[in-house]
Structure 1
Amino acid sequence: MMKRIDPIQINWKPAKNKVIPVYKQIIQYVCDRVASGEWVIGARLPSQRTMAKLFNVNRSTISIAIDELTSYGIISGKSGAGTQIVSNTWALMLPTKPSWKKLISSGYFQENNYRLQQINQLEFEPNIARLGTGELDLRLFPQKMWTEVLQKMSTEITSWGYAEPLGILELREAIVEHMRQFGINVSTENILVTSGALQALQLIASCMLKEGSTVFTEAPTYLKSLQMFQSAGLKLNGITMDHDGLEYWKIKNQIKNSESSILYTIPTNQNPTGITMSDIRRKELMDFCIKNRLPIIEDGAYQELCFDNDQFKPLKSIDDNGMVMYLGSASKTLAPGLRIGWVIASKPVIQRLGDAKMQMDYGASSLSQLVFAEFLKSGKYSSYLVDLKKTLKKRRDNALECLTKYFSQLATWNKPIGGFYIWLTFNESIEVDDIFERALKKKILLNPGDIYDFKHNRSIRISFAYLECDEFKESIKKLALLLMDK
């Protein structure tokens, strides 16, 4: 006769005033009950809705805890049987076995925000509409040009040795020529080729800023969605924006020590808001930073994606004092998988970053460097950008028309002059966390604004770069109907 398993009883609530996140308190509570034998294998947990009431938390918090407990192998959802305790071995791990859970949480590199981890995984789900993704539509890749370049490379490349510490000279020479159109006049000694602009940020965080330093940045910002700066013991300080860009004067009273502060900014087609800093504001910002001895990291990932031939000069182009480290990238224009980025800075800075990079990976991919150099030198890259910007402008206009048609009563938004993004803010009656989960059931993946901000907001990042016009219209219509059906 099968032994009867008593139903699980919960007479506990997490402390919301603790430093430990509520979902982690819930995880620990479940583990403790299993380890003590109070909750046995086969015991069934209450529904997520019921647990949310018992713990007095949102269902999204319960969902996070359930996902992590499932990843440990402690619980499992079985069809028709709900969520059950399936193992107690995690708590009874023998001393001779490595405690991987303890080891993976002991490194200095912090975990991404849970929602961001979830998005990173869901982006690879089949048949999902990525309405906020930071990636260019793969169908826009210039396949014909790529084939031509590779065929040329196949006859010219005779060896595959390590590249020079600062990157292959041929590529650095091509970047020097390419950046002149933006008013940036430097030599090859001022350029370091990196594995994407993201590695450049890692290099700066790890070898140029001491622990406790303050990184000023726009609020919201792409940087807030990363953990590399916080992992290095740096403090992020968000500064608000208006339609002209960063409100730099709000930094003044917060600079305690210019030697331990730096500014990170995306002045052109900012991620996630799409705001482009005006020329007047750029000049004022440079004057402010020079006066206050505040170095600048300028992220130019979207610099080349201004529509209608609008050209806003990079901060680096008006930098006569070596204040600016400029980051460039091929990830947002050509292909993220190429993993090609670059830093433009004074020679001592480039030498320091280059030395650190050699310790990390001993050089970016030689093939990627040579291929991108050929794209630049042959004129194929410039030709491709002309067509790409026409396509993106068409998609932006389509996105704005769709939003006007379906979201006029639900939200407000801006009109970007280029890039990928529209920053959409919902009316007060709408909560993004709830929308995220409901949209996911309709196979629509959103990027909530909280990922990028320093405080709670009701915004989402909309991308018009990944979906074709008809696909975008269908997804935005579904989302609007979902909201009106609440």
Structure 2
Amino acid sequence: MSWQPNRRSDNTLQQQIVQWITANVERGDWAAGTKLPTQRQLAMQFDVNRSTVQQALEELKAMGILEAKVGSGVYVTHNSWHALIQQTQPNWQTYIETSIHKPNYHTIQLINEYEQRKDVIRLGTGELAPSLLPTEQIEASLRELSFQPKALGYSSPQGNDQLRKAICKYVQKRGIPAEPQNVCIVSGALQALQLIAVGLLEQGSIVFQEPTSYLNSVHPFQSVGMQMISIERDVQLAQTLAQRKRKKQAVFYAIPTLHNPTGHVWTTREKEQLYEACQASRIPIVEDDVYHELLFEEASPPLKAMDNSGQVLYIGSVSKTLSPGLRIGWLIGPTTVIERLADIKMQTDYGSSAISQEIVLHWLQSGKYEKHLAGLRQQLQERADFTEQLLKEKFTDVANWSKPRGGFYIWLKFHEPLVDKDFFMKLLQRQVLINPGYIYDPQDHQHIRLSYAYATYEELQEGVQILHECAVEAIGRKSK
């Protein structure tokens, strides 16, 4: 062992000693458990002060490469290789923990994981069952379509021109006047929210929402520094908005038709009151209207239909009605806003799938889409009636609910606050997956979002039975 540090090096003597010992461990010359010479011996060999050796060894101990055994000496640790890997690789955990985007709640991570398993009964899923998807008709559409070479390339920033024209014609039936320049094709409603968050709002802006909200289960606004403020829609709404907004930028996120997760449908007057209250404080409204086509009754006009000043940003999508895999939605708003968001979209994904856009265009122009919707609503109505009958047979003593008016969900409320993480996990152990109320409102331990849209009739029957058994068991534990 004849090595000595170079006194002309830019590195300090201590740094060179640390590097030399580390290199010996990396090469395997000093295996795990190897005992090092004493500090005095090393100081003599390196021709340095003993304090320099001591400081180098302390640094190596802190790195986890060396360890001291009282009364015995200093040794290479048994996990030295792992410690060296940590020293040579980026600390990815630090990168993860300090990144901008917030992680999902653990419950939602489990939901996302278990939704991929075939042995789980999915009682909370916000998705159509495979049997409800028009798979054969979409396959037939692909055979009917004739693609031009340009259609297989990147689309324009705002999306396929013909599709935007078709969407304008389609939303006119909802009372929404729009031109193609007012439309941006997005990869689902969630991307629309993400674009709004990063493209229109400054950090620290306020996003008003109802106390129970889908936005609490995802983080498009929270992850870029927005303040989420839950607010009741009451007679004092205009005054409350003005007080809470102060001088900050703000938007109001609303799902007036078949609210997610409660299934509530606003009256025309409720829509007017929100619009007027936000107009008084010059607060834009983000209207998420992805469920309205699944309403079992005739829908009243959306907020966007009463908008004569460009105050409402309107979101639509085929993910809940035709296929989530197509990843096609749309955002309607003032031209300057749409151009801004389209520019950001091109910077993130260079446009939604051109083939998916062609499929949706074909379905809108051919009338297949509205024909499909009529049949889908009927099937969902039958599923809702079936599930509600199961609830009437088993749950009247332990919970209550409102008759579903469309969409996918029944907002089931237990008489007691038993819906916690433990309740969720006990159901999961029995292969039943629910969406508990606390992912939409952290203080809500009485509700679950019960979906009748995904599970088979047999699974609905079995799942509701297991849900009842777990609820009765939880109530029994609480009463002791």
Q: TM-score, normalised to structure 2's length? A: 0.79
1:45-95 per-residue CA deviation (whole Å, 9 max, x = no partner) reads: xxxxxxxxxxxxxxxxxxxxxxxxxxxxxxxxxxxxxxxxx9897767431
2:87 aligned with 1:98: no
Aligned position for 2:286: 297
Aligned position for 1:269: 258
Q: Is 1:219–1:241's contact at 8 Å kept on the other side of the alignment?
A: no
- 2:295 corresponds to which of 296, 306, 309: 306
Aligned position for 2:161: 169
1:260-289 per-residue CA deviation (whole Å, 9 max, x = no partner) reads: 111000000000100011111111111111
1:173-216 per-residue CA deviation (whole Å, 9 max, x = no partner) reads: 11011111111111000000011111111100001011111100
- 1:467 corresponds to which of 455, 468, 472: 455
Q: Is 2:419–2:448's contact at 8 Å kept on the other side of the alignment?
A: no
**What is the CA–CA distance in structure 1 between the aligned matches of 2:231 and 2:183, rounded to whole Å?**
29
SS class of match (2:210): strand
**Alignment gaps of 5+ in structure 2:** 1-61, 68-77, 475-480
**Larger Rg belongs to:** 2
- 2:113 corresponds to which of 113, 116, 121: 121
Q: Is 1:258–1:293's contact at 8 Å kept on the other side of the alignment?
A: no
Aligned position for 1:185: 177
In the TM superposition, residue 127 of structure 1 has moved relative to its aligned partner by 1.5
SS class of match (2:272): helix
Aligned position for 1:480: 468
1:229-250 per-residue CA deviation (whole Å, 9 max, x = no partner) reads: 11110011112369xxx98457
Identify if the C-alpha distance between structure 1 residues 380 and 428 changes in structure 2 by more than 3 Å, giving closer, same or farther.
same
SS class of match (2:287): strand
- 1:390 corresponds to which of 378, 389, 392: 378
- Identity among equivalent pairs (%): 39
Identify if the C-alpha distance between structure 1 residues 36 and 223 changes in structure 2 by more than 3 Å, giving closer, same or farther.
farther
Aligned position for 2:339: 351
Aligned position for 2:140: 148
Q: Is 1:206–1:232's contact at 8 Å kept on the other side of the alignment?
A: yes
Output aligned runs, 1:214-363, within 5 Å: 214-240=206-232, 248-249=237-238, 251-252=240-241, 254-257=243-246, 260-308=249-297, 310-363=298-351
Identify if the C-alpha distance between structure 1 residues 114 and 468 changes in structure 2 by more than 3 Å, giving closer, same or farther.
same
In the TM superposition, residue 325 of structure 1 has moved relative to its aligned partner by 0.1
**What is the CA–CA distance in structure 2 between the aligned matches of 1:465 and 1:240, rounded to whole Å?**
29
RMSD: 2.4
1:297-350 per-residue CA deviation (whole Å, 9 max, x = no partner) reads: 000110111103x21211001101110000011100111110001100011110
Q: Is 2:206–2:245's contact at 8 Å kept on the other side of the alignment?
A: no
**What is the CA–CA distance in structure 1 between the aligned matches of 2:313 and 2:417, rounded to whole Å?**
42
Q: Is 1:220–1:240's contact at 8 Å kept on the other side of the alignment?
A: no
Q: Is 1:264–1:299's contact at 8 Å kept on the other side of the alignment?
A: yes
Q: Is 2:313–2:331's contact at 8 Å kept on the other side of the alignment?
A: yes
Identify if the C-alpha distance between structure 1 residues 339 and 205 changes in structure 2 by more than 3 Å, giving closer, same or farther.
same
**What is the CA–CA distance in structure 2 between the aligned matches of 1:348 and 1:446, rounded to whole Å?**
41
Match for 1:200: what amino acid?
Answer: A
In the TM superposition, residue 253 of structure 1 has moved relative to its aligned partner by 5.4
**What is the CA–CA distance in structure 2 between the aligned matches of 1:240 and 1:401, rounded to whole Å?**
32
In the TM superposition, residue 112 of structure 1 has moved relative to its aligned partner by 1.0
**What is the CA–CA distance in structure 1 between the aligned matches of 2:452 and 2:233, rounded to whole Å?**
22
Question: Which moves more between the two structures, 139-148 or 369-378?
Answer: 139-148
SS class of match (1:193): strand
Aligned position for 1:40: none
**What is the CA–CA distance in structure 2 between the aligned matches of 1:426 and 1:115, rounded to whole Å?**
19
In the TM superposition, residue 151 of structure 1 has moved relative to its aligned partner by 0.5
In the TM superposition, residue 111 of structure 1 has moved relative to its aligned partner by 0.8
**Alignment gaps of 5+ in structure 1:** 1-31, 38-85
Match for 1:151: what amino acid?
Answer: R
Matched pairs, number: 402
Match for 2:275: what amino acid?
Answer: M
Aligned position for 2:395: 407
Q: Is 1:432–1:460's contact at 8 Å kept on the other side of the alignment?
A: no
**What is the CA–CA distance in structure 2 between the aligned matches of 1:454 and 1:254, rounded to whole Å?**
24
